[in-house]
Amino acid sequence: MTNDQFYVEVNCQQKNFDGERICGDVFLSKKIKEENRIIAVLSDGMGHGVKANMLSILTATMALNFTEEHKDFQKIAEIIMNTLPICSERKMSYSTFTIVDIDFDGETKILEYDNPQSVILRGNKIFDPEWTCIILESEKNAGKELRMCSFIPQKEDRLIICSDGITQSGLGGKKYLFGWGRENLEEYLLELVNHDKLISAPTLAGKVVNFANINDEYHSKDDSSCAVVYFRQPRKLLICTGPPFDETKDTELAAKVKAYEGKKIICGATTGDIIARELKLEIKDSFDFDDPDLPPISFMPGIDLVTEGILTLGKVTEILKNYHNSTKLTKGPADKIVKLLIESDEIDLIIGTRINIAHQDPSLPVELEIRRTVAKRIARLLEEKFLKEVNLQFI
């Protein structure tokens, strides 16, 4: 999501407790477009496996929903702690949480209960927003302490949230007898940012989780999660697909593509021919079939990627639908589009609305849906699943 100054990139990387198929930590994020807000929650359930996962899902979902409703942070904490089921063995309900509420027209607020204290980087330095302590007063939770802070974000700020699987990694070992700790985490974060000032949220979070795994000698002793919120300059991408409804708009379409400041993708042979003709450019075809299901890519000066149209976009939809942190992308045309989409923040889709007669043949596969339907599906996935800013323009 963007405002006039920056884009907010949100990503979480996780490593399960050694041998577990389910992570006991849960990270949820949601973009509330009409309010210009992003809410992110990291919860760590007691123990590991299914039981921990259920506790943390319950906690994270409540935290997300109550925060969205603008409930007071202290009230949110009381409700969550009163709702969590009691553990039959330990006779206590337990799930940690960190809530981040980003208001683009104001401040960013953080509320923490028993997770390691979040780290805020302002450029390549540690930033202290001055934390305050909230002490709960209800009979059931009397005396429990939470941390809270708020700050006005600036471009190149980063917020790093972790579960204790990160800071306690290496516990009992020769190097970190008492665990890796927050100070060592801060040093490592500064080292990474100084080495690469533009390091992305997924890369930074992944490196932290991997380092914690190394501390545990590649056998994680707890679920480990690291989420990064990165306030940065937006990266723009244009996808142009389909010829304009009216041929007189061909020149306008080509001018939009030429003037666009960002990366550019053209999907569709007819669309590529129009752009090449109007801008007096040459298209060169390749014969590298990196994906047996799709025609190969082509090349055009000033365009980052030229592919076939509707089949490729259909496959892009499927890849995005099933995409997760462990997804490995290939060199195929659809995979290349997905890679550029994931790396971008503001995505503009220009969709031509001229009917392609080839797609009306009833003998062709059902997957050949009309272009605008596929474009809308891609836009919805990018907005809801990846928190991207997407603009659709039909021409």
- Average pLDDT for residues 115-143, to the nearest whole number? 89
Of 94-98, 156-160, 345-349, minimum mean pLDDT range: 94-98
- Mean residue pLDDT of the chain comes to 89
- Average pLDDT for residues 43-50, to the nearest whole number? 89
- What tokens were used for 209? 């989780």
Does 299 score more than 80 pLDDT? yes
pLDDT at 224: 96
Does 36 score more than 80 pLDDT? yes
The pairing of beta strand 389-394 with beta strand 236-241: unpaired
- Average pLDDT for residues 372-388, to the nearest whole number? 92
- Average pLDDT for residues 341-365, to the nearest whole number? 76
List for the chain the helix, strand, coil content (%; round to 5). Answer: 35, 25, 40
pTM here? 0.80
Does 131 score more than 70 pLDDT? yes
Residue 93's pLDDT band (cuts 50, 70, 90)? low
pLDDT at 76: 85
Measured over the CA atoms of residue 351, residue 296, residue 330 and residue 228, the dihedral's sign is negative
**pLDDT digit string, tens, across residues 360-372:** 555 554 444 578 8
- What tokens were used for 122? 């302002």
**pLDDT digit string, tens, across residues 191-236:** 999 999 999 999 999 999 999 999 999 999 999 999 999 998 889 9
Q: Which residues of 59-81 are buried (b: 16+ CB within 10 A; e: fewer)?
A: bbebbbebbeeeeebbebbbebb
- Average pLDDT for residues 97-124, to the nearest whole number? 93
| CB neighbourhood size of 295 (10 A) | 17
**pLDDT digit string, tens, across residues 247-283:** 889 999 999 999 999 999 999 999 999 999 999 999 9
**pLDDT digit string, tens, across residues 305-326:** 999 998 999 999 999 999 987 7
Q: In what order do the strands lie in the sheet with 7-15?
A: 7-15, 224-232, 157-162, 119-122, 125-126
pLDDT at 87: 60
pLDDT at 366: 44
Does 140 score more than 80 pLDDT? no
Does 304 score more than 80 pLDDT? yes
- Greater confidence (100 vs 142) lies with 100
pLDDT at 2: 52
Does 91 score more than 70 pLDDT? no
